Amino acid sequence: MTRAPARFDLSVVIPVYNEEESIPRLVEELRGALEPLDRTFEILLIDDGSSDDSWRAIRDAAAGYAPVRGIRLTRNFGQTGALMAGIDLSEGEIVVTMDGDLQNDPADIPMLVAKIEEGYEIVTGWRKRRQDRWFTRKLPSRVANWMVRKATGVTIRDQGCALKAYRGRVIRNVSLYSDFHRFIVPLTQMGGARIAEVETHHRPRRFGRSKYGLGRTLRVLADLTTLLMITRFSDRLFLWFFLFAVPPLLLGVLATIWMILVALSPYESMLVPIGSAVLMLQTVFAVGAFGLLAEKIRQLAPLRRRRGDRVLAMRIDPRTESPTALLIRNGQATPLVGRSGPTPAPPGR
């Protein structure tokens, strides 16, 4: 995919979901942190289908401060989808991402940008003194970070920190789905990206309530399993499936031994041992067949492309009088002719 040269030195991409009270203060702090850099910049606020007045706050911010650009998704796509929409629409040579709840400190952005200019492709924040609840936020995060380090070999201590800086040409070629925004570092390091981690400030939440909790743990575990396959077995998919076939194979061997012992005894029925052995061996053959099919698909597949998901959004630019309807697909934003005008409310409003 060919993109036009970067229009800005820096893009700040911020997904927001029900953060109407935080947005004015956030824009004010971003202005204080970015203007002294003496660089061209844009601030993209992505409303991920909020049910409060976040979109109105974004429109007010865009009307009052020219670098702000608002993007309204037509429904709640989740943090990964909102981030991808903002990254696809960003036009900065360097892209910074952060949360919209004021827990990330915009004053840390110059430090991340300076580190990028030392020659790194990605600089990620480390919330060393994290201001969150221990049981519902800190504990699951520490467990997840430990598992990611063990599974991928990446030594970053805080995979979940939203405050990160990227070279635009790198992050715009990363394919994300599900909740994979927290695994950007391992995915990019596979391609040889140089990564740095710096300690950043983390502040208590001032408005609203957290959108995360223990419920996301199962999703993280599922995504971590996929990440392990991608990072360790992307060129050896059959081996990945074989590892899953080992337990039923061992059980099948034990069931076969049981069947033989029962066959030598005249007083035992062989129905259960035979059924168990056949079931386990069938499972092994099925998993092996899936592994061979996956290898064949990998060989026949074309070069990796960005995800084909469609994201419908509305973009508000202070230089225009009305929002523009967009279709974001494969990393490209296409204006929908005849769809500009009053912004429709997301479902449920």
| CATH number (domain holding residue 83) | 3.90.550.10
Residue whose pair of structure tokens reads 């929002």 in the numeric block: 323
The predicted pLDDT at position 338 comes to 47
- Same domain, yes or no: 227 and 246: no
| β partners of residue 68 | 43
In a domain, 221, yes or no: yes
According to DSSP, the β-strands at 8-16 and 92-97 are: parallel
According to DSSP, the β-strands at 122-126 and 164-167 are: antiparallel
The predicted pLDDT at position 307 comes to 47
| pLDDT-based confidence at residue 16 (cuts at 50, 70, 90) | very high
Q: 73-77, 201-205, 208-212: which has the minimum mean pLDDT?
A: 208-212
In a domain, 343, yes or no: no
Mean local confidence (pLDDT), 169-179: 81
- Same domain, yes or no: 219 and 293: no
Cβ atoms 107, 33 nearer than 8 A: yes
Mean local confidence (pLDDT), 87-97: 94
pLDDT over 90 (residue 295):
no
| β partners of residue 144 | none
In a domain, 163, yes or no: yes
The predicted pLDDT at position 53 comes to 93
Cα angle 177-179-180, degrees, rounded to a multiple of 5: 65
pLDDT over 60 (residue 349):
no
The predicted pLDDT at position 341 comes to 43
User: Dihedrals φ, ψ of 212, to 5°?
Assistant: -120, 160
Report field, pTM of the whole predicted structure over 0.85: no
- Same domain, yes or no: 74 and 95: yes
- Same domain, yes or no: 109 and 218: yes
C-alpha span between 75 and 86 (Å, rounded):
15
Catalogue the E-assigned strands of 163-243. Answer: 164-167, 195-199
The predicted pLDDT at position 127 comes to 87
pLDDT over 50 (residue 32):
yes
In a domain, 348, yes or no: no
In a domain, 225, yes or no: yes
In a domain, 345, yes or no: no
pLDDT over 60 (residue 303):
no
Mean local confidence (pLDDT), 240-268: 86
CB atoms within 10 A of CB 33: 16
DSSP state letter for 137: I
pLDDT over 50 (residue 339):
no
- Same domain, yes or no: 128 and 273: no
- Same domain, yes or no: 326 and 294: no
The predicted pLDDT at position 39 comes to 94
In the chain, what percentage of residues exceed pLDDT 90? 38
Amino acid at position 304, single letter: R
Catalogue the E-assigned strands of the chain. Answer: 8-16, 41-47, 68-73, 92-97, 122-126, 164-167, 195-199, 310-316, 324-329, 332-335
What pLDDT digit, counting tens, does each position of 128-170 carry?
888 777 666 777 777 777 877 777 777 788 888 899 999 998 8
How far out from the chain centre does Cα 170 lie? 15
Structural domain boundaries, residue 317: 8-232+305-335
Task: Name the more confident of 147 and 340.
Answer: 147
What pLDDT digit, counting tens, does each position of 227-253 carry?
777 777 777 788 888 888 899 999 989
> How confident is the prediction for the chain on average, in pLDDT?
82
The predicted pLDDT at position 125 comes to 93
In the chain, what percentage of residues exceed pLDDT 70? 80
- Same domain, yes or no: 243 and 132: no
- Same domain, yes or no: 172 and 296: no
The predicted pLDDT at position 21 comes to 94
- Same domain, yes or no: 254 and 212: no
Q: What is the DSSP string of 282-313?
A: HHHHHHHHHHHHHHHHHHHS-S------EEEE
The predicted pLDDT at position 210 comes to 66
pLDDT over 70 (residue 121):
yes
C-alpha span between 193 and 164 (Å, rounded):
14
Q: 26-30, 53-57, 99-103, 220-224: which has the minimum mean pLDDT?
A: 220-224
In a domain, 269, yes or no: yes
- Same domain, yes or no: 313 and 258: no
Nearest alpha carbon to residue 58 among 73, 71, 77, 41: 71
Angle of helix 217-233 versus helix 237-263 axis, rounded to 10: 100
* Three-state secondary-structure class, residue 27: helix
Amino acid at position 209, single letter: R
- Same domain, yes or no: 180 and 257: no
Residue whose pair of structure tokens reads 């974004």 in the numeric block: 58
Cα angle 214-219-224, degrees, rounded to a multiple of 5: 120
How far out from the chain centre does Cα 257 lie? 47
In a domain, 198, yes or no: yes
Number of domains within the chain? 2
Across 213-217, 223-227, 286-290, 291-295, which has the greatest mean pLDDT? 286-290
Distances (CA, A) of 143 to 19, 81, 150, 189, 212: 28, 24, 11, 21, 15
Amino acid at position 196, single letter: A
Cβ atoms 107, 65 nearer than 8 A: no
- Same domain, yes or no: 108 and 132: yes
